[in-house]
Amino acid sequence: MAVKRIGQVIGIKPEDIQEYENLHANAWPSIIKIIKQANISNYSIFRYQNLLFAYLEYTGANYEADMAKLAAEPEMQRWWKITDQMQWQVPEAKVNEWWHVINENFHVD
């Protein structure tokens, strides 16, 4: 099974850092379930100052379809309604891209 490794970056508003980190420290079980059902594993979010960096591995057969299904979940939409207001797009973000996907430059298994 091929693994698609994805890195993403987005900004976090300084006044929302604590709430964002608390929310993720106690992520809703329904959100974890939706993520796993979308064939996402090894998912982490790191913070450096006012930037968030996400890393995930996708093991499914149709990334676009799985991400569309994830995005259509009402519970995920509710989660994003809370978290999106805490974030800001980096200038490099493309059209229809909230978290900006960044290139992988090096990998070792």
Residues that are catalytic: 24
Q: Which two tokens stand for residue 58?
A: 């996708």
Place of tokens 């929302």: 16
- Compute the distance between CA of residue 52 and CA of residue 55 in angstroms, rounded to an integer: 10
Q: Can you spell out the DSSP letters for 37-62?
A: HTTEEEEEEEEETTEEEEEEEE-SS-
- Compute the distance between CA of residue 37 and CA of residue 75 in angstroms, rounded to an integer: 13
